[in-house]
Amino acid sequence: MNKEFSRARIKKDKNFDGKFLFGVKTTGIFCRPSCPSPVAKEENVTYFNTIFEAIEKGLRPCFRCRPDVDVEYYNGNISGVSVVNNALERIYDGYLNYHSIQDLAKELLLSDRHLRKLFVDNLGVPPIKIARHHKSLFAKKLLLFSDQSITDIAFASGFGSIRQFNTVFKTVFGKTPTG
């Protein structure tokens, strides 16, 4: 598998976009296979199936190929997929902006512990991290494609304060919203 991924990464093959991501240990960045950045040495590269695996390892998305924008989430585990998909839809609709994980689990007729386990089994990370990343990604798109003020973008993205927005944005993307 790594040989095929390695060849695709070196050739910058767009056909492999969405099939895997790669992270570069020396830069702390993860990219799509077709990223236009210079080719990293294989010994510095780690391969991932999802953006969440890369984020969980402490890597941030590349600013050139933007692997976190226009991504389709893959649920690798059949068990619990419909529950996870249902929860993801609610998270993407902003449910966790005003409710807790416990509230979400209760609506799905699960314990919050079981919901977290299903997320980790299917996506590699707990739902709160996905919600945080989703809010940050929404904010990033607004920053890129709108003329709104940073304050308006922070609140439109579901953050409770400018301080929280700046902290989470910097954690997820490695720079401040104005950077």
The residues carrying an active-site annotation are 31, 35, 62, 65
Long-range contact pairs involving 2-11 (C-beta distance under 8 Å, separation at least 24): 2/47, 5/33, 5/47, 6/42, 6/45, 8/33, 9/33, 9/39, 9/45, 10/39
